[in-house]
Amino acid sequence: MTTGLIYDDIFLEHAVPEWHSENPGRLRAIMALLAERGLLAHPDLLRLAPRPATDDELAAVHTPEYIASVAAAAAQAQPGYLTCLDADTFVGPRSAEVARYAAGAALVGIDAVMAGTVTNALALVRPPGHHAEPDAAMGFCLFNNVAVAARYAQRAHGVGKVLIIDYDVHHGNGTQHMFYDDPTIAYCSVHQAPFYPGTGQYDELGEGPAKFTTCNAPVPAESELELYDAIFREVFMPFTDRFRPDLILLSAGFDTHWRDPLAQVRLDVIGQTLLTYYVNQWAKAYCGGKLVAVLEGGYNHEATANAVAASLALLLGVAESPDTVGPPPPINFRWNSEAVIGELRRVQELVGYRRKPRPAGPAPDEWDAPDEDGA
Residue 325 CB neighbour total at 10 angstroms: 18
**Cβ–Cβ < 8 Å for 98, 140:** no
DSSP readout, 341-364? HHHHHHHTT-TTPPPPPPPSS---
- CA 237/CA 355 separation, integer angstroms: 10
CB 106 within 8 A of CB 148: yes
The answer, yes or no, to whether the previous bond of 357 is cis (omega within 30 of 0) is: no
Strand residue runs (E) in the chain: 3-6, 45-48, 83-86, 89-91, 120-123, 162-166, 185-192, 214-219, 247-252, 291-295
The residues annotated with a catalytic role in the active site are 131
- Integer CA distances (angstroms), 258 to 254, 266, 272, 311, in order: 10, 4, 11, 17
d(CA 120, CA 112): 8
